Structure 1
Amino acid sequence: MSTQINHPLLYKEFEILSDKRGLHSVSIYLPMDKKGKEQNEHLAQARLKSAIKQVHKTLETYTLSPQEIKEYLLPLESLLTNLELWRNPSDGLAIFLNEDGLQYYTFPISFDTKIHVANHFYLSPLLPLYTDQGLYYLLELSQDYVKLYEASKYGLKDLYIDDFAPDQLEKAVGFDFRPKLVQFRSGQAPHGAGIFHGHGDGKDDEKKELITFFRALDKGVNKVINGQNSPLVLACVDSLFPLYKEANSYKNLYDKHIPGDSQFTDKKELHQASWALIADYFETKRKSKLKQFNELYNTSKTSYVTEDIIPAAVNGKIDTLFLPKDMDVYGTYSKDSEHVNINSTKEPQNVSLSHMAALKTLKQKGNVFLMAPDDMPIKGAPFNALFRY
């Protein structure tokens, strides 16, 4: 069986990055080179070297001495000679530096070059990992095998559900559950449908035992997912799906499942099958929210006014936020007075209001879609928002 695929950056790790604060927090996004010619010419390293110079210049506007800047940027300089990084490139590289040290990640996203210095890390280029690229959960389910993954277009990450829930029917209902009287076996009917053997009470007992198992499992799923609203996809034989639906309390169980017993399925194939099943959900959602915005345009449920949208994002009022790609509005926001002050450029004392609104919306279970400027509902506006209330 193949090694499972890792999600490029789990949402929990994304949240940790987004919560970090510190003066002179540096974020750098760069495209990497996979072709031999570009690698041989060290073009990616040259981009990083140029980015370091730009960061150095930016830090000169802060109250740092030349020596302090030089020492602070040493971890970035060390990346230039990190042979492992450049020998195994992905599509994009994200680098984060603050007083706690350096973190860097490679991603299957080809970033445009972006350098940002503020009191927080700049994470807007990563938003597609959790919005239109699809954050969802995948639950592999049988009587004696359970696995829960966080998933996206890019891969799967094991969430270790067995720490919170039984992974076998016997553990939920006891080991004396009369397997000889009633047998339930998978993979012996078309499309992986399970077959009940036995009649009358035996079949009812088996169903009750499965429901008991699934209710215990459902509690564990909700503990692990912990209040998220991303869709949950099941991989199971056909006959188990309606039983799990009966036991389920998670609010966004997807109405289609991957049929068959997935226990011995290659995890890359399982990931591909799950993404093929769920991909339309995210595109349909984007289209649905665009349609909703247009229908509610010129009502109090929508806005394209920055001064209205920033307080709404902070207060969890936004259902869906549309942002043009590669555009930032800089300024300051006072939570006490809810006053927004917009500046023409990035300055040491201000922030990207676009980045702030996006993260606040995402953290409060809203939708954030990065759009081509011509695809924005209200073209030319830096924000379009659909409000919850």
Structure 2
Amino acid sequence: MYVSENHPLPKENFEALADTHGLHCVSIYLPMHKTGKEQNEHLAQANLKRSIKDVHQALAAYQMHESEIKKYLKPIEELITNTKLWRNPSDGLAIFLGTRGLSYYTLPIVFETTTYVSDHFYLKPLLPLYYGDGLYYVLELSQDYIKLYEASRYNFKDLFIEDFVPDQLEKVVGFDYKPKMLQFRSGQATHGGSFHGHGEGKDDTIKELQTFFRTIDKGIHKVLSNRQAPLVLACVDSLYPVYKEVNSHPNLYDKNISGDPEFRNKIKLHEQSWKVIQEYFEMSKKKKITRFTELYNTPKTAYEISDIVPAALQGKIDTLFIQNGVDIFGRYNKENMKLTVHDKNKIGDASLINLTALQTFIKGGEIYFLGSDEMPIKNSPMNALFRY
């Protein structure tokens, strides 16, 4: 799990929500409808109104007085007319009201409409922000344009390497190097095009590039905080093998983002880089599923909720698989380790999947949200791979 400082919901904010306990904690999740007919017709605001009514009914069931309910929910009511909020929508909106007042976040997840009232917040829908989108780096590379980014699925941050890395070939090999030996394909700029040459000239060019790239490699080594995270090159295809020859990063990704990087839109670069690297993180998930299958029917795995909930509280879970769109409500007594599961959500109940997921997150386990057909053990909403 990796969380950058410019994450859409920094870990410290999430942990503050997880630490909040008290009567009548309200959680609301909504899709925001960023474009199209739904936005023009203000469907998200109408959806929020309906959610407030649902919360109102839940608070009344907790024996809260009508006048208290209206006063308590007023900060959420005011969001309906908050033009700044709706003018700049994201994919989803998460709202939390509790002992510390109101907080809300526009986030890059299309949430299912959900309301939840308990003595804690419902945070399971936020966990995809922290899993399956691990840290990677993107190095834009040409003869006179060098940029390094720290990235994940939801973040793309310039690491500002100017103090450690030269930005031009000439600054390393000198201004008397032999550019005439590089014959660039028509229609491509000299700083990014493919090169080919003949005899000694071609060899000289490659040596000069290697000298330049070796200096870059040494510079970015001082900046990369995670030596195990994959490094993706954004460069014309001909430069990738030259850089690979001098690279010292232990996890240089075997596919580059093809093309001249200098004039590429950074939003587009982020999208392209995630498309390239996504397979890498998918493989991590598949390895965990394979590991579960190999250890099935041993004490290292579980698929019964009665085994998984206490294991999460004990910090025993290495990897938790959660089926999308499913929840289980009930109660867990930490003192006597008694678990009670109900068919429907009753007053005083909690989401047992939310509890398990949060405890797994807090204690450093991994979490994957899977479709029903992807779950290692079908017909079970949670599967767990244990550390011990």
* CA shift for structure 1 position 242: 1.8
> Hey, what does 2:151 align to over in structure 1?
150
> Hey, what does 2:92 align to over in structure 1?
92
User: 8 Å contact 2:321–2:367 — kept in the other structure?
Assistant: yes
Q: Does 1:221 align with 2:224?
A: yes
* CA shift for structure 1 position 166: 4.6
Paired residue secondary structure (2:262): coil
> Hey, what does 2:174 align to over in structure 1?
179
> Hey, what does 1:382 align to over in structure 2?
381
Aligned ranges 1:1-389 → 2 under 5 Å: 10=7, 13-20=10-17, 21-22=19-20, 23=22, 24-33=24-33, 38-39=38-39, 42-60=42-60, 66-86=66-86, 89-107=89-107, 109-132=109-132, 134-142=133-141, 145-152=146-153, 157-162=155-160, 165-166=161-162, 168-170=164-166, 179-180=174-175, 207=210, 210-211=213-214, 213-222=216-225, 231-236=230-235, 237-239=239-241, 241-242=243-244, 246-248=247-249, 253-329=252-328, 330-332=330-332, 334=334, 339=337, 341-344=339-342, 346=345, 351-362=350-361, 366-389=365-388
* CA shift for structure 1 position 218: 2.8
* CA shift for structure 1 position 210: 4.5
Aligned letter for 1:242? K
Distance verdict in 2 for CA 1:274–1:59, change over 3 Å: same
Higher mean C-alpha displacement, 81-90 vs 316-325: 81-90
TM-score in terms of structure 2 length: 0.74
Paired residue secondary structure (1:103): strand
Distance verdict in 2 for CA 1:234–1:206, change over 3 Å: closer
Cα distance in structure 2, aligned partners of 1:206 and 1:34: 45
Distance verdict in 2 for CA 1:375–1:248, change over 3 Å: closer
Distance verdict in 2 for CA 1:331–1:214, change over 3 Å: farther
* CA shift for structure 1 position 216: 4.1
Cα distance in structure 2, aligned partners of 1:16 and 1:310: 24
Paired residue secondary structure (1:147): strand
Cα distance in structure 1, aligned partners of 2:64 and 2:53: 15
Cα distance in structure 2, aligned partners of 1:333 and 1:195: 71
Higher mean C-alpha displacement, 74-83 vs 206-215: 206-215
User: 8 Å contact 1:211–1:243 — kept in the other structure?
Assistant: no
> Hey, what does 1:3 align to over in structure 2?
none
Q: Residue deviations 1:286-334, cap 9 Å, x none? A: 4443333223211223211223323443455434321122222343363
Paired residue secondary structure (1:110): coil
TM-score in terms of structure 1 length: 0.73
Cα distance in structure 1, aligned partners of 2:29 and 2:113: 5
Distance verdict in 2 for CA 1:35–1:243, change over 3 Å: closer
Q: Radius of gyration: which is bigger?
A: 2
User: 8 Å contact 2:173–2:208 — kept in the other structure?
Assistant: no
Structure 2, unaligned runs of 5 or more = none
Cα distance in structure 2, aligned partners of 1:183 and 1:365: 53
User: 8 Å contact 1:331–1:350 — kept in the other structure?
Assistant: yes
Give the paired residue count: 366
* CA shift for structure 1 position 186: 10
Paired residue secondary structure (2:125): helix
Distance verdict in 2 for CA 1:212–1:317, change over 3 Å: farther
User: 8 Å contact 1:140–1:234 — kept in the other structure?
Assistant: yes
Aligned letter for 2:340? I
* CA shift for structure 1 position 231: 4.3
Aligned letter for 2:13? I
CA RMSD of aligned residues (A): 4.3
Q: Residue deviations 1:54-74, cap 9 Å, x none? A: 223333455865444333321
User: 8 Å contact 2:165–2:219 — kept in the other structure?
Assistant: no
Paired residue secondary structure (1:28): strand
Q: Residue deviations 1:225-278, cap 9 Å, x none? A: 6x9x7644332441564267x4325xx553332244423212233233213312
Distance verdict in 2 for CA 1:176–1:74, change over 3 Å: same
Distance verdict in 2 for CA 1:39–1:217, change over 3 Å: closer
User: 8 Å contact 2:138–2:151 — kept in the other structure?
Assistant: no
Structure 1, unaligned runs of 5 or more = 1-6
* CA shift for structure 1 position 29: 1.2
Cα distance in structure 2, aligned partners of 1:338 and 1:248: 50
* CA shift for structure 1 position 13: 1.8
Cα distance in structure 1, aligned partners of 2:16 and 2:371: 28
User: 8 Å contact 2:164–2:219 — kept in the other structure?
Assistant: no
